[in-house]
Amino acid sequence: MLEVVKSDVAKLNVVVAGAAGKMGQRIGALAVEGPDTALAGAFERQGHPSIGKDFGEVAGISKTGVVISDGIGEILSKNGGINVGTGAGIDVVIDFTVPESTLLNAKTCAGHGGMAMVIGTTGLTDDQVRELKSYATSIAVVFAPNMSVGVNLLLKVLQNVAATLGDDYDVEIIEAHHRLKKDAPSGTALKMASVLASALDRDLKETAVYCREGIIGQRSKKEIGIQTIRAGDIVGEHTVIFGGLGERIEITHKASSRDTFARGALRAALWLKGKPAGLYDMQDVLGLK
């Protein structure tokens, strides 16, 4: 039977979606360890073998008293509602799952006003992003393809570098992730491409090149190349190349642990406390806008 742990009034109560996944495990574990957060619930998709187990058992930490449920609905029912900012109930749901599940969870949260979300799910289509925006009229949501502080600082740097170099330098993005990642290119690579296109006053849909093979001819001046590598257990690596005549600038970010993204997600969750409904990103969280 699901049990929800009540936290100290000073702590933010976090519920983790996809709690048995690699990211869910680390987000939940760090929420338990954090001085400002508490794990108030954890859930998985229906039929998952981890349902009914203590989250700590699944995540490889000591028992937490939080049993993994088969959906957010069970948590809401058992918890008896939401008391934002009071230290009881649910303050925020953190979701790093898949687009369909994320949208279903967002719809549920929007129907229980006051429950915020942090979303790190990638691979959403344009239509799915529009649907998410509709839910963000009712709740506060931080939605970002990468929760790393370093990556989001890098986005700001890339904007400035591209604007300074202009069209005299060719732009290429190379991203690498583990063999199990399902979407390509990564959401981070696409976000980098979007930032670069905006800084260079280009339409990404017209200038993005995702694959090169055969006799393709000379590279066009406006291209933004986005290349994908999938191998082994690479957590996440992104390199942006600005290639000029006689010189090359390479800016790289390498993540060696998923904790980087988990800590960023919890930072975003804490930042959301008291924020009005709306769709935010990590640039908002870090004050980079």
What positions carry a catalytic annotation?
177, 181
* Structure-block tokens of residue 178: 């583990």
Closest to 144 measured CA to CA, from 152, 153, 156, 133: 152
* Structure-block tokens of residue 272: 């959301």
Among positive and negative, which fits the CA dihedral 16, 267, 282, 260?
Answer: negative
* Structure-block tokens of residue 69: 């449920």
CA dist., res. 284 & res. 289, Å (int)? 6
Q: Which residues contact 227 (CB under 8 A, 6 or more apart)?
A: 172, 173, 174, 175, 185, 210, 211
CA dist., res. 279 & res. 138, Å (int)? 10
Residue linked to tokens 């001819």: 217
The burial of 151, by beta-carbon neighbours within 10 Å (0-12 exposed, 13-18 middle, 19 or more buried), is given as: buried
The answer to whether 182 and 121 have CB atoms below 8 angstroms apart is: no
CA dist., res. 237 & res. 181, Å (int)? 13
Q: What 8-state DSSP symbol labels residue 166?
A: G
Q: What 8-state DSSP symbol labels residue 9?
A: T
The H or E element that residue 188 is part of is helix 187-199
Among positive and negative, which fits the CA dihedral 25, 30, 36, 38?
Answer: positive
